[in-house]
Structure 1
Amino acid sequence: MRNVTSSDATPIDPPIPVPDVPGADATVRGLPRRIDLTLRQRLIVDTSAVADIALRTAIASLIATTMLPTLLSGLRGDRSRAEQDQLRFYGELAAEKDPALSFPAPTAVPRVSSRPASPIAEWVARGNVHNIRFDSSFEAVNPALRDQCRGFTRNNVVHAQHWRHDDGPHPTLCVIHGFMGSPYLFNGLFFSLPWFYRSGYDVLLYTMPFHGSRAEKGSPFSGYGFFANGFSGFAEAMAQAVHDFRSIVDYLEFTGVDRIGLTGMSLGGYTSALIASVDDRIQTVIPNVPVVAPDQTVDEWFPANKVVQLRSLLSDTGSELTKAATQYSSPLNYEPLVPKDRRLIITGLGDRLAPPEQAEMLWEHWDRCAFHWFPGNHILHVSQPDYLRRMTRFMRGFMFD
């Protein structure tokens, strides 16, 4: 097995200059109290939280807009009954707490086509970069929705970008983007992936359902389809996200990769935490600013929260029915398959899109594993080089001999 070629002393230059105000690992009590922070840390947390609230309102407005068509359809009695049946379906499935039942594995290695990425991508990586694609083998978990899901023709083609070294397969770091954040170039720079590549990792950037090239024609923005088809549509999008990523793992293993690490931001953090409870081939998992209980998070997302409440009222789906159904795709509903010493959670104290309390819930569920915080928000990751080095030190023992 190859050794890491870069050390912790290697410079990391984040794409957005941020204040050098360090965070730290959580203590046995969890995240620090406000009184435990320095004056500079409190200032960064408070100002970044205000900025995050503005961003959250803008994103919530977009999500509310995507839900309006299903809100209007909820006025019909037949649609209301169908919504209740769908929520019961996912609630009953969640109650089994069986990831193999909730997220059936792909049955065959995908037939992958590959082509060289743009010269810009190769310049950023300073290496060999290919864009890959293959037909998704996903079938909707809920039989009543299979025809609908088959009709999403663009979404049913899986896309990813693969950074590979020329001397054969290396341990591979897979990255899952957040909601609306699918561009490969943005993620490559934001996560300083060239630095990981120089450290000896191959890198794979996975495109979530309904994002980027997977967005259906007429989608007003990347990720629109995730929330445009009601709660059942969100549940099936998450199921497909897990299924298609497991096909990616099949592909990587077929090419000779034997060690796979997984990280993701926001919705990608949610997805990576869920995958870590479904697929035992993941060597290490690092959810970054994850949401883990979306039913609780949406309560603070004005105006989307009002649309959700009105939709529930029109379809006569009570809070208990909805709460039970949301457990279907929550990583809190399943036991992690990645060992405790290979789990690391990262959160921002000023985050108001994925509040740090959500990460703390995952930390408790994951037996109080490694937990790192920074004094920034959802987008402004203050002292990001610090946690990138934390990730590298953490992964080295599992990914390299």
Structure 2
Amino acid sequence: MVDSPPSDAAPVDPPIPFPDVPGADATKGGLPRREDLTWEQKLIVDSSAIADLGLRTTLASVIGAAMLPRMAMAALRPAQVRAERDALEFYAEMAAARDPAKAFPAPVELPRVSTRPANPVAEWMAHGRVENIRFTSSFEAVNPAMRDHRRSYLRNNVVHAQHWRHDDGPHPTLCVIHGFMGSAYLFNGLFFSLPWFYRAGYDVLLYTLPFHGRRAEKGSPYSGYGYFADGLAGFAEAMAQAVYDFRSVLDYLEYTGVDRIALTGMSLGGYTSALIAGVDDRLQAVIPNVPVVTPDAAFDDWFPASVLVKLGNRLSRTDKDLMAAASAFHSPLSYQPLVPKDRRLIITGLGDRLAPPEQAEMLWEHWDRCAFHWFPGNHIVHVSQPDYLRRMTRFMKDVMFV
């Protein structure tokens, strides 16, 4: 294992250029008030927020379309309505226990991983050795009533990841979890400036969430479709599988000699990384980026998905309190973080309207007001991204290279 970064590890500008209007760390009181911003920051925040509203509506429409078949089936089959309500009551009960070991049981066996060289574009981008890895998931649905159905997803139950490795043995490893619909390795490598981190001495692993990329079932209209196709109960199981399969990835990394692992993720990946930090104690650092932490509340503003959720609740005679209680099953706010406070860093965009900064601030409060960095952009346009990449680099260096 490498104990110190190479001498040429000075950060370089990321390959995707963004405007350089800097953000900052939050103060003891939290995120800045509008009057505390410069005129440039106000301009970026306001314009990026307007742009995010259009993106939010588009994504809400996509998610809503995924929910429609399930809702139509529920309307025609009363038994389906009862099953959905029973499932939500099951997850609400699990959430109330606040027991991560029970809600998210650990894998009991080491995955049998197969590897093959990635395509030449990936190796060109990394300037190093890149492998695609895969293994069969041993996940069983947390809710016994869902197990047979979830086993039927053959493609989803094969885990995929891409591994950037140095030739001189295992290095401290930065794991990255993508956002909803954003599973392409090339896109994430560029967006997260992973060549920067690879050059700084990290091995890098890009983890593919359930129902995304090669895990999408045949006939899926887009990457990520399966996350919402089985309703709220299906979303709960997708989150449970995302955590479980990533813990199998951790088992694999440990088996290959990696003993220092940091985790970051964007949007849905930020949500997942924050949840994993409350379930597994093997992370040296965790950095959720523009995370949602209460998706049931965030959906209230996601038209037209919000309308469909309300309609679905009416069909299944599910009140909002039960939905919130069930959603708490996979919320990081339901579990105490197992990563020490000085190894937690949250990143948020003040102009974000898909994962509003208030969501990140709730996580910050739950995480004992740990390190918290903001930038003036939105969910996709991370204005002054070099600023927070340097913040991440400084934050992880003393933990990952000792």
TM-score range, shorter-chain basis? over 0.9
Residue of structure 1 in register with 2:67 after alignment: 67
Q: In the alignment, residue 122 of structure 1 is paired with which amino acid? A: E
Residue of structure 1 in register with 2:305 after alignment: 304
Q: In the alignment, residue 202 of structure 1 is paired with which amino acid? A: D
User: Aligned-pair distance for 1:7?
Assistant: 7.0
Consecutive unaligned residues in structure 1, runs of 5 or more: none
Cα deviation, 1:106-142, whole Å, max 9, x if unaligned, reads 0011000000000000000000000000000000000
Residue of structure 1 in register with 2:53 after alignment: 53
Specify whether residues 140 and 134 from structure 1 end up closer, same or farther in structure 2 by C-alpha distance, changes over 3 A only: same
Residue of structure 1 in register with 2:176 after alignment: 175
Residue 393 (1) aligns with residue 402 (2): no
Partners in 2 of 1:194 and 1:10 — Cα distance? 10
Partners in 1 of 2:398 and 2:103 — Cα distance? 32
Quick check: 2:23–2:384 contact (8 Å CA) kept in 1? yes
Residue of structure 2 in register with 1:130 after alignment: 131
Cα deviation, 1:83-113, whole Å, max 9, x if unaligned, reads 1100000000000000000000000110000
The SS at the match of 2:284 is strand
Quick check: 1:169–1:202 contact (8 Å CA) kept in 2? yes
Specify whether residues 372 and 6 from structure 1 end up closer, same or farther in structure 2 by C-alpha distance, changes over 3 A only: farther
User: Aligned-pair distance for 1:5?
Assistant: 2.4
Q: In the alignment, residue 397 of structure 1 is paired with which amino acid? A: D
Quick check: 2:9–2:199 contact (8 Å CA) kept in 1? no
Quick check: 2:279–2:338 contact (8 Å CA) kept in 1? yes
The SS at the match of 1:85 is helix
Partners in 2 of 1:3 and 1:303 — Cα distance? 50
Partners in 2 of 1:220 and 1:350 — Cα distance? 30
Partners in 1 of 2:54 and 2:296 — Cα distance? 20
Residue 22 (1) aligns with residue 10 (2): no
The SS at the match of 1:74 is helix
Partners in 1 of 2:20 and 2:145 — Cα distance? 52
Partners in 2 of 1:232 and 1:207 — Cα distance? 21
Q: How many residues align?
A: 400
Alignment of structure 1 residues 92-131 onto 2, 5 Å: 92-131=93-132
Partners in 2 of 1:148 and 1:9 — Cα distance? 50
Partners in 1 of 2:110 and 2:9 — Cα distance? 37
Specify whether residues 170 and 74 from structure 1 end up closer, same or farther in structure 2 by C-alpha distance, changes over 3 A only: same
The SS at the match of 2:373 is strand
Partners in 1 of 2:10 and 2:129 — Cα distance? 25
Cα deviation, 1:320-360, whole Å, max 9, x if unaligned, reads 11110000000000000000000000000000000000000
Quick check: 1:14–1:384 contact (8 Å CA) kept in 2? no
Quick check: 1:8–1:389 contact (8 Å CA) kept in 2? no
Q: In the alignment, residue 34 of structure 1 is paired with which amino acid? A: R
Residue 288 (1) aligns with residue 289 (2): yes
Q: In the alignment, residue 321 of structure 2 is paired with which amino acid? A: E
Quick check: 1:6–1:198 contact (8 Å CA) kept in 2? no
The SS at the match of 1:282 is coil
Quick check: 1:14–1:385 contact (8 Å CA) kept in 2? no
Alignment of structure 1 residues 72-221 onto 2, 5 Å: 72-75=72-75, 76-221=77-222
Residue of structure 2 in register with 1:262 after alignment: 263
Q: In the alignment, residue 147 of structure 1 is paired with which amino acid? A: D
Partners in 2 of 1:320 and 1:285 — Cα distance? 30
Q: TM-score, normalised by structure 2?
A: 0.98
User: Aligned-pair distance for 1:6?
Assistant: 5.8
Quick check: 2:110–2:248 contact (8 Å CA) kept in 1? yes
User: Aligned-pair distance for 1:8?
Assistant: 7.9
The SS at the match of 1:238 is helix
Alignment of structure 1 residues 265-280 onto 2, 5 Å: 265-280=266-281
Consecutive unaligned residues in structure 2, runs of 5 or more: none
User: Aligned-pair distance for 1:10?
Assistant: 3.0
Partners in 1 of 2:134 and 2:51 — Cα distance? 37
Partners in 2 of 1:12 and 1:343 — Cα distance? 24
Over the matched positions of the two proteins, sequence identity in percent amounts to 72
User: Aligned-pair distance for 1:386?
Assistant: 0.6
Residue 31 (1) aligns with residue 34 (2): no
User: Aligned-pair distance for 1:29?
Assistant: 0.5
